Amino acid sequence: MNRFDYIRPATVTEAIAAAAIPGSAYLAAGTNLIDLMKGGVLRPERLIDINHIPGLDRIEHLPDGGVRIGAQLRNADLAADPDFARRFPAIAEALLSGASAQLRNAATLGGNLLQRTRCAYFYDTASACNRRQPGSGCDARGGENRLHAILGWSDACIATHPSDLCVPLAAFGATLEIEGRDGRREVALEDLHRLPGEAPEQESVLAPGELIIALRLPAEAATFAPHARYIKLRERTSYAFAVVSAAAGLRLEGGVITEARLALGGVAAKPWRAEAAERALTGAPPDAASFGRAAEAALAEARPSGDNAYKIELARRILVRALTLAAAGTPERLPALPASPFAPLPGGRPHG
C-alpha cells in the first residue's frame, strides 16, 4: 500500500472541497478500498475520511411514504431496522446475503453501491484490464471467465458488478442524492453504473469528487412488500459472491400481476433491471408460463462472453425462481439462510 495523506473533514462541504484535488479517494469503511489498496489495484494519494461527518447515517421515513437513508449507514444497520425490513424485505434479504456479518457491520451503503468488480483480471495488476488501466486490453477475454458477464458487456470489458444490494435497489427504483462542487443532484440507481462500452474505466456517472449522500426509495417501492424476494446462487452456502442473482417484486390483484419489478445480479457491469420482463408480466397470471416468458424476455439479448453460456440459462431460471418465491409471498421473518435456495419456504416450494 502506498503512503497517502489522510484528511478528516467535518462536513460534506469540506469533504467535497478536499476531494477536488486529483488523486483523492473517499474512505468510508474501507472494506473495498483498503482491500484494493493492499492489492495495489488502487493507489490514491489522499484519503478523505468521511466517517466522522455527522448526519450521514440516518434512516428517515419521509412524509410521502418514501424512505431516505444516509449513505454512511452500515449495511447491517439497514437490514436490522425493523421498519425498513418490513417495508422493503427483498432489500433486507439482499443485504443479509452479502459478504459476512463482519463486513456488513462495517461496510456502508455508499461503499456498497460503488464497490468494484471482482473480476480476477481487474484485481491482478499484472493482467491487462481496461477498467483498471484504460487501453491495456482485457485478459478476461480468452481467460478464466466462467463467472463473467452475459449482458451489456463489450469487447473492452466483460466484468460484472458484485453488489447484492444494488439488485433490488434497481428493481424498486431507488434514487441517489449526490453532492459535488456544483451542488446536489439526483441520479436513479439504475443510471449510476455505466456499461463498459469503449470506456470501462468510467464505471459510474459520478464526476470526480462527487459524493453519494443518501439513497431514497419511493413510497411505491413498499407496495411490493407482500411479494418481494431476493435469491442468489452461490458456490458455497454463504460468504460468496453471486454466480447469478435476482430480485423480484410483484403486485397482485385478483389473481393477476398488476405490476412487476425484476432485476438480475452477477450478469453485467451494473445491476440489470429487466424492464421488458416486467412489462411482459403486467396483466399476466402469476404462474410458471408467465414467469418463463418473462425470463425469456429478460435474457433475450444475453450472450456468453466466454465459458459462461450456462449462466444465461441460470439467469433465466433464477428469475423464474425469484418470481415464484415472490408470488408465494414474503415470509414473516427472513430465512436463516437469506436468499439461499436452501432456505425453507413455508408451505413447501413449487419445484417441478
Partner 1 sequence: MADTLPLDSAANARHGSSIGQPLTRRDGVLKVTGQARYAADNHPPGLLHAVLAVSRIARGRVAFLDLAAAKAHPGVVEVMTPANRPLLAQDPDEKQGPFSFRLDLLQNDHVRYAGQPIAVVIAETLEAATEGATLLAPRYEAESTRLGLDAGEAFVPPAIGAGSPPEVRHGDIEAGLAGAAHRIEATYETPAQYHNAMEPHAIVASWDGNRLLVDTPSQGLAWARARLAGLFGIAPEDVHVRSPFLGGGFGSKGLISGPQILGAVAARMVGRPVKLVLRREQMYGPVGHRAPTQQVLRLGAAPDGGLTALAHHVRTVTSSFDDFYEAACDVSHTLYASPAIVTTADAVRVDTGTPIFMRAPGEASGSIALESAIDEMALACGMDPLEFRLRNYAEVEPISGKPFSSKALRECYRQGAERFGWAGRPLAPRQMRDENGLLVGWGLGTATFPAIMFQGQARAVLRRDGSGLAELGAQDMGQGAWTALAQIAADSLGLPLARLEFRAGDSNLPDAGIAGGSGHTATAGTALHSAGADAIGKLAALAMADERSPLFGAGNAGVIAREGMLLRRDDESRGESFAAILGRAGLEEVEGRGHGAADAAAQEHYAMHAHGAVFAEVKVDPELGQIRATRLVGAFAAGRIINPRLVRSQYYGGMIWGVSFALHEKAVLDRRSGRVMNADLAEYHVPVNADVPSLEAILVEEIDPHVNPLGVKGVGEIGITGSAGAVANAVWHATGIRPRRFPIGPEALIGGAPG
Partner 2 sequence: MSLSITLTINGTPRTVELDDPRVTLLDLLRERLDLTGTKKGCDRGQCGACTILLDGRRVNSCLALALSHDGAEILTIEGLADGEACHPIQAAFIAHDAFQCGFCTPGQIMSALGLIQEGSAGDDPERVREGMSGNLCRCGAYRGITEAVLEAQQRMSRDAREEVA
> Which string of x and - marks every residue 39-78 that binds partner 1 (by CB under 8 A)?
-x--------------------------------------
Instruction: Identify the residue among 48, 321, 323, 326 touching partner 1 (CB under 8 A).
Output: 321
Give yes or no for residue 348 binding partner 1 (CB under 8 A): yes
Q: Alpha-carbon distance 80 to 90, whole Å?
A: 13
Segment near partner 1 (CB under 8 A); pick from 15-23, 61-69, 143-151, 252-260: 143-151
Residues 146-175 that bind partner 1 (CB under 8 A): 146
Provide, rounded to whole angstroms, the least separation between the CB of residue 3 and partner 1: 7
Helix axis angle, 309-328 to 288-298, nearest 10°: 140
Segment near partner 1 (CB under 8 A); pick from 88-96, 123-131, 180-188, 263-271: 123-131
- Whose Cβ is closer to partner 2: residue 1's or residue 20's? 1
The 3-state secondary structure of 75-131, one letter per residue: HHHHHHCHHHHHHCHHHHHHHHHCCCHHHHHHCEHHHHHCCCCCCHHHHCCCCCECC
> Which string of x and - marks every residue 178-217 that binds partner 1 (by CB under 8 A)?
----------------------------------------
* Contacts with partner 2, residue ranges (CB under 8 A): 1, 3-6, 8, 27, 29-31, 34-35, 38-39, 47, 49, 51, 76, 80, 99-103, 105-106, 237-239, 336-338
Instruction: Identify the residue among 57, 81, 93, 139 touching partner 1 (CB under 8 A).
Output: 139
Task: Enter the C-alpha cell of residue 186.
Answer: 439526483
Helix (H) or strand (E) run with residue 327 in it:
helix 309-328
120: partner contacted, choices partner 1, partner 2, none (Cβ within 5-8 A by kind):
partner 1
Other residues' Cβ atoms within 10 Å of the Cβ of residue 24: 20
Instruction: Identify the residue among 313, 328, 329, 331 touching partner 1 (CB under 8 A).
Output: 313
> Strand ranges (DSSP E) for 189-302?
211-217, 228-233, 244-253, 256-265, 272-273
Instruction: Identify the residue among 84, 88, 172, 241 touching partner 1 (CB under 8 A).
Output: 241
Which residue is it, cell 475520511? 49
Q: Alpha-carbon distance 298 to 343, whole Å?
A: 25
